Amino acid sequence: MIKNNKSNKKLNIKSIFIFLLLSICVIFITNPAKYATSCLNALSVWTLNVLPVMFPFFVFTRLIVNLVSLKPNFMDKFFSKLYHTPAPSFLIYFLSILSGYPMGAKLICVMYDSNYIDNVSAKKMLSFCSVSGPMFIVGTVGVAFFKNYIVGIIILIANIIASLLNGLIYRGKNTITSNNSPNYQSKKNDNVLTDSVYDSLISILMVGAYIVLSFLLIDILKNLSIFDFISNSICRVFKINNSQDIVNSVLIGIIEITRGTLDLSNTQSSIQLSTIIASTIIAFGGFSVMMQSISFLNKLHIPLKTILLQKTTQVLISLVVSIILTFIFL
């Protein structure tokens, strides 16, 4: 009886999902020119802002993982002891901070495929290696969107601190010993460059596909006034006056952080409030980044609820830290 209830529940969820997909197809067909423009805008963002930065990083970091042959250094041992993870966790964290979403998930998958880490360690590392990079936070959000370099620095520091503290929450028991903690070992592969370029190309195309789908979904929801309905309802319930645009930006940011932070920068909210909200949006990463991460982590079978829990605590920590930093520097 219980199994039948579970089967019926799964069937109902699947049916609802299929219905929603069919509805999106119908909406797209009713105005293909308009939604084709949405896809072109997404491709423009991917081509001009994501591809030139992320593709080289994907190639270089993949090469580093394949070629590096080093004994664990001080930082490797420090991270291993602090987070109860194998030595490569520092390398992954450093490269994740350097390049941003979704590099952390991508590198965790690479390390797992290379037998440097196991599933348990990968889950722990995801709690602090899923973070946005300085180029997006400072360059795009701070300078380009908010026209304020300090805003970018505050958000960057808040997100770095939040990621490091978040990892402590999920470190669990220490199962790593000197006997089972692997050293980095280079792979003997004559085609390592070709393999790295091919793997990186597939990864960056996957990122682009999720960006296109996110932009399309956002524009469909906006045209159906779904965001306006939700934001107005929230403002009425919590008695927040003249904040619909801010709530809309947050809702959009939950789906895709670039659109969310861009819309937020165009609202009439104070720079202090915008900084704090932008910090939490970026800490969450949006469902677009989350789906990109899941696509990379598919082999590890990390459930969505685990990723959502980790990102929720990271958002809360980022919120507190950004409030403190904003109060001090803005």
Torsion of CA 77, 82, 86, 90, to 10 degrees: -70
Q: What is the mean pLDDT of the chain?
A: 86
The verdict on 230 and 283 lying in the same domain is yes
The first and second tokens of residue 195, run together, are 């393999």
The verdict on 22 and 102 lying in the same domain is no
The verdict on 288 and 248 lying in the same domain is yes
Q: What is the pTM of this model?
A: 0.86
Q: Report pLDDT for 128.
A: 96
The verdict on 25 and 39 lying in the same domain is no
Q: Is the pLDDT of residue 178 over 80?
A: no
Lowest mean pLDDT among 13-22, 131-140, 215-224, 298-307: 13-22
The verdict on 166 and 21 lying in the same domain is no
Alpha carbon distances (Å) from 309 to 127, 133, 164, 166, 313? 9, 21, 16, 11, 6
The verdict on 258 and 211 lying in the same domain is yes
The verdict on 4 and 130 lying in the same domain is no
Q: Report pLDDT for 84.
A: 92
Q: How many domains does the chain have?
A: 2
Residue with more model confidence, 126 or 52 = 126
The verdict on 126 and 24 lying in the same domain is no
The verdict on 286 and 158 lying in the same domain is yes
The verdict on 226 and 285 lying in the same domain is yes
Q: Report pLDDT for 55.
A: 84
Residue 191 φ/ψ, nearest 5 degrees: -105, 30
Report the percentage of the chain scoring pLDDT > 70: 90
Residue among 108, 67, 64 nearest 86 (CA): 108
The verdict on 239 and 94 lying in the same domain is yes
The verdict on 261 and 277 lying in the same domain is yes
Q: Report pLDDT for 248.
A: 94
Lowest mean pLDDT among 85-94, 142-151, 272-281: 85-94
Q: Report pLDDT for 77.
A: 85
pLDDT band at residue 188 using 50, 70 and 90 as cut-offs? low
What number is the average pLDDT over the span 299-311?
A: 90
The domain of 216 spans: 32-329
CB environment 185-196: b (16+ within 10 A), e (fewer): eeeeeeeeeeeb
